[in-house]
Structure 1
Amino acid sequence: MSVCSHARLPTQVRLCQCCELPVDIIDLKKGYSADCPRCGTQIYRSESYSIGGNLALAITCLLLFVPSHYFDFITIRLVGMMIEGTLMEGVYALAKEGYPGLALLTLFCHTIAPLAMCTSVLTAHAALKFRWFNILKISLSVLSHSKHWVMLDVFLISVAISCFKLQDYSDIYVGNALYSLVILQILTIVLVNRVSTRRYWENWQTESSLPVAAKEIHCHTCHLSQPEAKNCVRCHSPLYHRKPNSMQKTWALLIAATVAIFPANLVPISILITNGQRLEDTILSGVASLINNDMLGIAIIIFVASIVVPVAKILGLGYLMFCIQFDKVKNHKVEMRIYRAIKWIGKWSMTDLFVISIMLTLVDRGQILNFTPGFGAVAFGIVVVLTMFAAETLDPRLLWDRHNSKPSLQPETKLSSSFNE
């Protein structure tokens, strides 16, 4: 079906990308989406808007990058000195303190990933216009991978937390770049929700023009269900029923994250020097300090984002891996909800690292109040990255292997009324 013309076919079979159930989609109207009746994964979305809107959003976001990243987003008055904080100064400060890995991680999440996403939208549109296949394939690959690492929303929450932590030591003023950051974040959220790599591939070559009568394997690059083959007939990417070495990669990443979470919680993550007194805080002691200073709301946010979320991701991934490894999958829908929750909450663990970057920008000035990261921050950054990679390498179709082998499973399910707007 040609998405650009919004044609409607009486029937269209697609394989669910998470459980491989063949679903016969019937009478899908514009602006509606069809979810898999077995695992709840969105299989098809009939957009009622033009992809030209994606281009306009991407260009606007790119224009906002300069004011939001290089002008001050917050200013404080500390011991009689006005200190302006920009987003990029936090990266420079981390690198200067001897933490280049943390500097690169924070830069990637609040600058490189959203910049790559917006730029890839531009190059994808150029590739469609001039029929550049390789450029389109690279652009859409960058687009699909960078979306998960865009964390401007997490950064804005971190700005608010930093302001609450600094309010007892300094006067705080909102900078002009903060307004640009808020607008950039809103537009980024809209772009992430609108953009669809499948739709760009449909504009390149529609499914109806391809010999894909039999639906035996699903391409995870262009989302075309097609006959069994080594390579996709549309994007030429390698095809596989299961991600190669998914279990081995996920176990390795999960074990490494489990090892790193101990120093992340036991070694000081930040060091604050005030009035000549050196205060070293682990994540838990920092939460306790916030509670003692009557900042219960901020303490809860830090506790959930920095302790509950990483531990929950490790335990959740461990449970899913155990169920798959030892064939203990019982309630498939519950396991799929756990998998989706792990992927969604992953980025919120970056809150503490963003707070460290902001604090370092504003108070590491050799004054009465001084701030520096601890080595626990490095271990915590490793946990964040490893758990996010582990969630990506885990193939959710492995959860359905035993279910698919049951003789009672229907070969094809018709979906004509289960639509979501």
Structure 2
Amino acid sequence: MSTQQHQQPVRKVRLCQGCELPVDLTPVPNGKSAYCPRCGTQLYRGGKHALSGNLALAITCLLLFIPSHLFPFINIRLIGVTFTATIPSGIYSLIQEGFPELAILVFFCSSLAPFAVCVSVVGAHIALRKRWFKVLKYSLTLSQCLKHWVMLDVFLAAIAISCFKLQDYADIQVDTGLYGLILLQIFILMLITRISVRRYWERWQPESTYSFEHKHVHCHHCHLSQPDGSHCLRCQKPLHHRKPYSVQKTWAYLIAATVAIFPANLIPISILFTNGQRLEDTILSGVASLITEGMQGIALIIFIASIIVPAAKILGIGCILIYLHFGKRNIRKQLMSVYFAVKWIGKWSVMDIFVISIMMTLVDRGRILNFTPGYGAIAFGAVVVLTMLATESFDPRLIWDGKSSSDKTKDTALEIIKD
């Protein structure tokens, strides 16, 4: 028999970034995605999406920023006076009213983060073409860090809620900017789901060019599994088996969020002057008033997004941290499911802040109606940011520390392959 007949296929072993389990990806068919059999983290994204498609989507999104941000998305007509709402006008109104913290949060999540992600994709393509290592490195790092802060879908939901709240006070008309926002959300969602940092680094230098006998650490930036070292051999980012001070940072963010959630729910989050009356609403009283006005669906959305979700994030991350210190290690998969759920629902808590910014720019301040945020909104914004930072700072590999070597060997041979 020839040498080729005896030759075994090269094993593509990759360390799972969620639990650091070595998994053999050699038999993964083209177009399929591989998931870790132990923690469920995606190891390999299937499909053959061309990188040029990402560039086309990024440029389309950049062009859509013009109508979506500069044109009004909602007009209201109140006793013969027309008021228009744009994203910049809502941000400016928050600054005028003395709430620059909320203005920065709205600007970052609705404008800066999506714009930076699109620019970083364009930068990555230019870097690949020109072979600029540093531009590629920083562009991919930027897109990887900021894509979780893109919240245009939450902003669109906030527009709908604001319209329901104002329908009893004024006539509401949809304007050009809303169509731009909807198109921008569709295209940027397509872009984010297609972005794969690993594929860009594979185009720069394929994983097959490295021949490692042993792999002990996984780079979370370019997703190259490699031997121990201080820096990644491909992207030159620092390597860590665990994020430095992950537990301490997560506890700090979590405790701060727990402290902030009390004023966020007890202090009024919005103040409305109408017909000579001053109406102060906390999150819970606002939900109750919506139910009284017959808007049970909107009340349920706000109750879930503004009360249930922040509390669930704090409790979920807290339970994971407590189990790391004191709990049994036989519920690791459940803890990973909690972590994935907390990470996914995190951004929806910012909906109330978006509603406030939209109401600020639509309501006729100082004449017929007067709307302003309450100081509870600042505390609520702090809860949103702190819980998201707590999720990002936590290293899920800590959940799997202490697993026996026999279990590890058993799991190495397993695979989950999905479409």
Q: Whole-Å Cα distance in 2 between the matches of residues 236 and 123 of structure 1? A: 18
Q: Which amino acid aligns with 2:139?
A: S
3-state SS of 1:72 partner: coil
Question: Any idea what the Cα deviations from partners look like across 1:45-66, whole Å, max 9, x if unmatched?
Answer: 2331211000000000000001
Q: Which amino acid aligns with 1:247?
A: V
Q: Whole-Å Cα distance in 2 between the matches of residues 353 and 279 of structure 1? A: 18
Q: Which amino acid aligns with 2:409?
A: Q
Q: Partner of 2:169 in structure 1?
A: 169
Q: Whole-Å Cα distance in 2 between the matches of residues 30 and 150 of structure 1? A: 30
3-state SS of 2:247 partner: helix
* Residue 293 (structure 1) aligned with residue 327 (structure 2): no
Over the residues paired in the alignment, what is the CA RMSD in angstroms? 1.2
Q: Which amino acid aligns with 2:227?
A: P
Q: Whole-Å Cα distance in 1 between the matches of residues 10 and 225 of structure 2? A: 17
Question: Any idea what the Cα deviations from partners look like across 1:347-406, whole Å, max 9, x if unmatched?
Answer: 000100000000001004322211000000000000000000000001100100022x35
Q: Give the structure-2-normalised TM-score.
A: 0.96
Q: Partner of 1:72 in structure 2?
A: 72
Unaligned runs of 5+ in 2: 1-8
Q: Partner of 1:194 in structure 2?
A: 194
Question: Any idea what the Cα deviations from partners look like across 1:151-205, whole Å, max 9, x if unmatched?
Answer: 0000000000000000000000001110110011011111110001111011100
Question: Any idea what the Cα deviations from partners look like across 1:54-103, whole Å, max 9, x if unmatched?
Answer: 00000000000011001000000112211111111100000110000100
Identity %: 61
Q: Partner of 1:414 in structure 2?
A: 413
Q: Whole-Å Cα distance in 2 between the matches of residues 329 and 354 of structure 1? A: 40
Q: Give the structure-1-normalised TM-score.
A: 0.96
Contact 2:83–2:364 (8 Å) recurs in 1: no
**Structure 1 position 276, deviation (Å):** 1.0
Q: How many residues align?
A: 411
Q: Whole-Å Cα distance in 2 between the matches of residues 38 and 328 of structure 1? A: 17
Q: Whole-Å Cα distance in 1 between the matches of residues 30 and 187 of structure 2? A: 23
**Structure 1 position 411, deviation (Å):** 6.8
Q: Which amino acid aligns with 1:413?
A: T
Q: Partner of 1:341 in structure 2?
A: 341
Q: 1:399 to 1:124 in 2, by over 3 A?
A: same
Q: Which moved more, 1:364-373 or 1:135-144?
A: 364-373
Q: Which amino acid aligns with 2:412?
A: T
Contact 1:214–1:226 (8 Å) recurs in 2: yes
Dislocated runs of 4+, deviation >6 Å: none
Q: Whole-Å Cα distance in 2 between the matches of residues 46 and 134 of structure 1? A: 28
Q: Whole-Å Cα distance in 1 between the matches of residues 324 and 411 of structure 2? A: 24
1:376-391 to 2 correspondence within 5 Å? 376-391=376-391
Question: Any idea what the Cα deviations from partners look like across 1:281-331, whole Å, max 9, x if unmatched?
Answer: 000000000000000000000000000000000011110010112243331
Unaligned runs of 5+ in 1: 1-8
Q: Whole-Å Cα distance in 2 between the matches of residues 412 and 307 of structure 1? A: 39
1:313-332 to 2 correspondence within 5 Å? 313-332=313-332
* Residue 93 (structure 1) aligned with residue 117 (structure 2): no
Q: Which amino acid aligns with 2:269?
A: I
